[in-house]
């Protein structure tokens, strides 16, 4: 069990996500930076998708109400255990009464507090993830508050087995100020002129302050539309289309002034033209992009996207393998 002393800025319970309900308007939610989240779960011996805490800019202060193993991953922040500096990306053993303080992120946005056994809240539609806009999942669909006591599941492995496990630093993500995002252009990009598409792909886009789990508004050169007679039912603005489903990762261009890159709490459909979809593994980078971060978009094909997806999955497998190696070397040394 974990007791929340201070909740941080915006801390929610998230897991791998809630899938299969997009058709009723329910987005997947789930950890925004899946790689860091899954790495944290691996460290504490969980399934990769076990529920954890996702922090935003400023993490929570927690007290262990019972012995528990914890790993903090994702955006680097100043982590303290009972007042002493403690490392991230390492399994830490907390005794009942120990206090863990997660400070402010020094780069990136979101960190993950993963707990042996996972955070145990009821599953709703197959997931424990919090969907704030829909007031759904997690604890009553809301962010974590001071005095909350979070139940944890039965840990798979003992604290003695887990403590001190660390990941190969070469496999850990970086948090750059300029992020390249790979995108499949298409969907309703037929609404844009050729020049506008070329400009979108050749100029930088800056993350605005309106950037959250629903979507990231990005500012740059703007968009120019092809002339047309508005089709029946679309609306007269050149960016309007008859309402379509929006993939998670797609970019819509309301009014042509800005882009909105939809994230895991996305609105599932609507009437603005979408111009392409960022590949799923690059959404981890978006999740860690603070306002004023610059994006550059690179167009890829479906074949490229599948190759990059396979590489991402391979990196996750290497994480698991490096931990198995650490475990066996650790045992040999004893």
Residues making contact with another protein (CB under 8 A): 19-26, 133-136, 141, 183-184, 186-188, 210, 214, 231-237, 240-250, 254-255, 257-258, 267-272, 277-280, 302, 305-306, 308-309
- The residue to which tokens 């890829």 are assigned: 300
Cβ-based neighbours of 275, under 8 Å, separated by 6 or more: 185, 186, 187, 188, 189, 191, 192, 197, 200, 223, 250, 251, 252, 253, 259
CB 151 within 8 A of CB 13: no
Helix (H, G, I), strand (E, B) or coil at 61: strand
Determine the Cα–Cα distance for residues 35 and 41; give it in Å rounded to an integer: 10
Closest CB to another protein among residues 133, 171:
133
Nearer to another protein, 2 or 121 (CB): 121
Q: How far is the CB of 133 from another protein (least distance, A)?
A: 5
Cβ atoms < 10 Å from Cβ of 317: 9
> Minimum CB separation from another protein for residue 218, in Å?
14
Rounded Cα gap, residues 76 and 246, in angstroms = 32
Nearer residue to another protein within complex by CB, 126 or 164: 126
Nearest to 67 by CA among 97, 99, 95: 95
CA neighbours closer than 13 Å in the CB half-sphere of residue 258: 14
CB of 283 to another protein, least distance (A): 9
Q: Which is nearer to another protein, 36 or 277 (CB)?
A: 277
26 vs 75, beta carbon nearer another protein:
26
Minimum Å distance from CB 173 to another protein?
19
Query: Cα(194)–Cα(206) distance, rounded to whole angstroms?
Result: 22
CB 174, min distance to another protein, A: 22
**What is the closest distance, in whole angstroms, from the C-beta atom of residue 273 to another protein in the complex?**
11
Q: Kindly state the smallest distance separating residue 131's Cβ from another protein, in Å.
A: 8
CB contact burial 170-200 (16+ within 10 A = b; e otherwise): eebbebeeebebbbbbebbbebbeeebbebb
- Shorter beta-carbon distance to another protein: residue 176 or 270: 270
Q: Is the dihedral of CA 221, 178, 105, 150 positive or negative?
A: positive
Complex with another protein: residue 214 or 320, whichever CB lies closer: 214
């Amino acid at each position: 069990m974990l007791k929340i002393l201070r909740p941080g800025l915006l801390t929610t319970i998230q897991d791998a996500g809630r899938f299969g309900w997009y058709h009723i308007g329910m987005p997947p939610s789930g950890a925004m930076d899946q790689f860091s989240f899954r790495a944290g779960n691996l460290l504490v011996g969980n399934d990769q998708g076990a529920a954890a805490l996702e922090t935003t800019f400023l993490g929570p202060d927690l007290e262990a109400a019972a012995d528990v193993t914890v790993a903090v991953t994702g955006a680097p922040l100043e982590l303290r255990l009972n007042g002493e500096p403690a490392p991230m990306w390492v399994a830490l053993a907390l005794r009942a009464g120990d206090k863990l303080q997660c400070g402010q992120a020094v780069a990136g946005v979101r960190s993950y507090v993963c707990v042996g056994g996972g955070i145990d809240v009821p599953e709703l539609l197959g997931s424990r993830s919090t969907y704030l806009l829909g007031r759904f999942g997690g604890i009553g669909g809301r962010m974590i508050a001071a005095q909350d006591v979070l139940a944890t599941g039965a840990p798979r492995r003992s604290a003695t087995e887990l403590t001190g496990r660390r990941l190969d630093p070469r496999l850990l993500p970086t948090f750059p100020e300029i992020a390249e995002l790979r995108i499949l252009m298409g969907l309703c990009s037929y609404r844009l002129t050729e020049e506008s598409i070329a400009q979108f792909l050749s100029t930088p886009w800056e993350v605005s302050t309106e950037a959250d789990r629903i979507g990231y508004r990005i500012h740059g050169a703007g968009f120019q539309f092809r002339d047309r007679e508005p089709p029946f039912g679309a609306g007269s603005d050149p960016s309007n289309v008859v309402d379509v489903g929006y993939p998670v990762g797609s970019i819509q261009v309301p009014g042509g002034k800005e882009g909105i890159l939809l994230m895991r709490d996305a609105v599932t459909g609507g009437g603005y033209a979408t111009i392409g979809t960022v590949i799923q593994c690059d959404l981890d980078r978006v999740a860690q992009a603070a306002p004023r971060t610059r994006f550059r978009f690179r167009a890829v094909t479906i074949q490229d996207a599948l190759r990059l997806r396979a590489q991402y999955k391979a990196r996750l497998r290497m994480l698991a393998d490096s931990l198995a190696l650490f475990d066996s070397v650790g045992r040999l040394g004893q």
